[in-house]
Amino acid sequence: MYAEVIGDPIAHSKSPAIHRFWLAKLGLEAGYEATRVTDLAAYFAARCRDPGWRGCNVTAPHKLAVIPFLDEASPIGAVNCIVPADGRLTGLNTDVDGIVEAVAGADCSKVVLIGNGGAAKAARRALADAGELVNVTRQNIENAALIAGATLIVNATPLGMAHAGPMPAVLLAALPSAAPDAIVLDMVYEPLDTPLLQAARAAGLRSVDGLAMLIGQARRAFRLFFGAEPPSEHDAELRHLLSEGTSQV
């Protein structure tokens, strides 16, 4: 049996490293691959005929595009995990689980969410109980006043990633106006220590890198694919393995 991650491009994905690490620790005879997919119709037609296929993770640019091929999809409006069962394909969003794990215990009385794409949709669901949720988008991203008093700041955009644009300097400069004990989560992990996280620490805030969310979202997917619990006692070793090089899920 095997699962995989699909996208285009895909060679840089860390998902195989995570799932293979857990499979090896548990001694399970299964595989996990990274598959470049450009034709979703042909891909699903082939996989649905393969009895060894246990499902797939989904990354850019397919998180929205896969939905028409599914029998059931997450109401979030973005899918990052697909599981076959009884001839049906179900699309889920385990990014929600990853975000919840990454910010466990955070004060969510004022959340500033940067972004409005698929990752931001997951963040909205994960942070549904926030006292106040302020959405920073392309239209208002230069408005530094939005950061004032924030207890949790989440970057759900590629800004700060090696091949994307930078986080606007005005937002970085506004971080000292956040609550003194605020947490800043950056979903980006290429680089792992982003300018946003560096600025957060300089402002005396707690920083949480993208690996926390990445590992968290993979846990639920692993359970769904392989019917086993990922061995969390090896998380430190896994983080070290993933930190040796950074890439996209």
- CA pair distance 134, 209, nearest whole angstrom: 21
- Are 59 and 13 in contact by the 8 Å Cβ rule? The answer is yes
Residue 9: other Cβ atoms inside 10 A: 12
Q: In what order do the strands lie in the sheet with 53-58?
A: 31-36, 2-7, 53-58, 81-85, 88-92, 72-73
List CB contacts of 113: < 8 A, sequence separation 6 or more.
120, 123, 124, 127, 133, 134, 135, 136, 154, 156
Does the annotation count 121 as an active-site position? no
Q: Which of 14, 63, 110, 121 is catalytic?
A: 63
Catalytic residue numbers read 63
